[in-house]
Amino acid sequence: MAPRASVPSDPFAAAPATAAPREVRLIIDDKAVEDAEVGRRSAGKYIAAALVAAAVGVLAGWFVGSTWRERQLYDLVLQDAKDIYGSVNTASTTIERAQKLLDQAVKAAAPGAGKSIDLDFKSLEDLPKLEKPFPADAFARKHYRAFEAATVDQLFQYYNNTNLLWAKVGSISAKALTPAAREGLTRAAKSAGDLASTDFGCVPFKGGDRLGCGLVTVTKNAEGKLSVTTRSGSYEKQLYTGQDLGSKASDYVIMVDKGRSNEILGAATSQFQSFARDLIEAKTLADQTTEIQGRLTQQLGNIAKLQSLN
């Protein structure tokens, strides 16, 4: 039997079976994800830390700069306080010298009981030789942050009092030290002394139906009896205490109140009285100024004792 002829293979049938589809597996590595996330967070932390560090650096720089400025200002204030303290101390010598000279002049012009009025021209001549202390630039354009309000007030009052005191000294010098002023003041002082040591009275008299009174000086002797002095002589009189004058009016004397009669009796003393008022006012100013000076010296001295920071 003849062999069977080979049947051509179906090319399609002969093709090998299609391979089964491959299984693709997605493996998710949690650790790798965590590491990546941690990396991002770490980077954020580093950036935040860097920003904070930069901010702290800026603030620290500002703080250090601010502190330095405050220290500088503190030292300026302290130095100004020391300068003013030195100016007050320097002025105090002149103020106290003026106060002493005024005390001497006042004691001569307004003596105690039993002493006569005098003029201390030596003290009056020395006063204008003193240069006015404590000018405005001694405390102008200064820092006052370390001063209490009361200290600043007293500082300005001290300056004002000094100006007033030296203006008054100038007025006294003009009233006493020129040749004409010295001569007139000497006469007026003598009249003032006479007025202070003399009692005055008025002796009544009748002229027809009218009653008059004549001005006299009155003295009292050791026995207590009164005598009046006129141009014609001295006569004993009785003190008038409300008696009936009648026909014996001139036997009495009515005492005159010198204080109430000063405009008349003191006419010759007016130059001296004006001078004496100026002296008293100047002495009062000097006393007030030295009191303020004492408080200022203590308060400024407490500040001046502090140590500078730089």
**Directed axis angle between helix 30-109 and helix 149-176, to 10°?**
20
Q: Is the pLDDT of residue 52 over 50?
A: no
Q: pLDDT tier at 257 (50, 70, 90 boundaries)? A: very high
Q: Is the pLDDT of residue 180 over 60?
A: yes
- Give start and end residues of each alpha helix (H) in 198-269: 262-265
Half-sphere exposure of 258 (CA within 13 A, CB side): 15
Q: H/E element holding 218?
A: strand 210-220
pLDDT at residue 57, rounded to an integer: 44
> CA-CA distance, 118 to 139, in Å (whole number)?
40
The token pair that represents 288 in the structure block: 């007030």
Q: Is the pLDDT of residue 102 over 80?
A: yes
Tens of pLDDT, residue by residue over 124-143, are 999 999 999 999 888 888 87
pLDDT at residue 146, rounded to an integer: 63
**Directed axis angle between helix 270-304 and helix 30-109, to 10°?**
150
Task: Determine contact, residues 109/275, Cβ cutoff 8 Å.
Answer: yes
Question: Which pairing describes strands 199-207 and 210-220: parallel, antiparallel, or unpaired?
Answer: antiparallel
* Domains of the chain by residue range: 70-193+273-304, 199-265
Q: Is the pLDDT of residue 164 over 50?
A: yes
Q: pLDDT tier at 307 (50, 70, 90 boundaries)? A: confident
Please report, for residues 125, 146, 178, the alpha-carbon distance to residue 164 in angstroms, rounded to integers and kept in the order given: 19, 28, 22
Average pLDDT of the residues in 134-153? 82
Burial class (CB in 10 A: 0-12, 13-18, 19+), 177: middle
Which CATH topology does 70-193+273-304 take? Four Helix Bundle (Hemerythrin (Met), subunit A) (1.20.120)
| Residue 208 backbone zone (phi > 0: left; psi -120 to 50: alpha; other: beta) | left
- Give start and end residues of each alpha helix (H) in the chain: 30-109, 121-126, 149-176, 179-197, 262-265, 270-304
Amino acid (one-letter) located at 245: L
- Mean pLDDT for the chain? 81
pTM as predicted: 0.68
Tens of pLDDT, residue by residue over 77-90, are 888 888 989 999 99
Phi, psi of 136 (to 5 degrees): -60, -35
